[in-house]
Homo-oligomer: A and B are copies of this chain.
């Protein structure tokens, strides 16, 4: 989040460009991890869904940890429009930069899905037929996003160096303890474009986005009181 101060401007390049490249890279790699390990997990597990999900969860958690530690000094490593919006709300990122972050994350996410499909010889993009809908899934998606935003809000102030491990453990574990574990609009939109293990039907995306936004909003309202901004 302090990319501008740490890196920018030293050689006259606008630092926002650097942050955007890092943000696109990280979000692309995140989708490569989710979609790629989903494809290989399902392929090797030969019908054993528990094994496939175990591989999917471990690979995604490990990738998230590596990507956040790697790219946080360059862009803050949001990889998630809701994280960007929430941090913009608190003044941690300028509104103009946030306005560039969100489409960059979306583009990176879509690129990641295409690359993962290419690596595993799947069609580069197809609409998913994986149904994910209904009140229990929306509750799950509300809850997991609430937790993620609560963690980002709290740890980015009080435990910044631990944030990568916290997010990786929470999202990696969440593959098992929530029923959905997206918690990220860019991820939800991009996963509509792959008809593999980790896909989601386009028609189910709006419900997920609504649940995610509600979860993030609830987290902000609660954590503004729990963790007063005293920077």
Q: Enumerate chain A interface residues (CB-CB to B < 8 A).
A: 6-7, 10-11, 13, 18, 21-22, 25, 29, 32-34, 36-37, 40-41, 44-46, 48-63, 65-66, 69-71, 73-74, 115-116, 118-121, 136, 139-140, 143, 147, 150-151, 154-155, 158-159, 162, 165-170, 172-179, 222, 225-228, 230
Contact = CB atoms under 8 A, between A and B. Distances in A.
Nearest to A55: B176
Contacts of A22: 226
Contact of A58 (B154, B168, B176): B176
A225 B18 CA distance: 8
A160 to B, nearest CB: 11
A25 B146 CA distance: 11
B36 A44 contact: no
A136 B120 contact: yes
A11 to B, nearest CB: 6
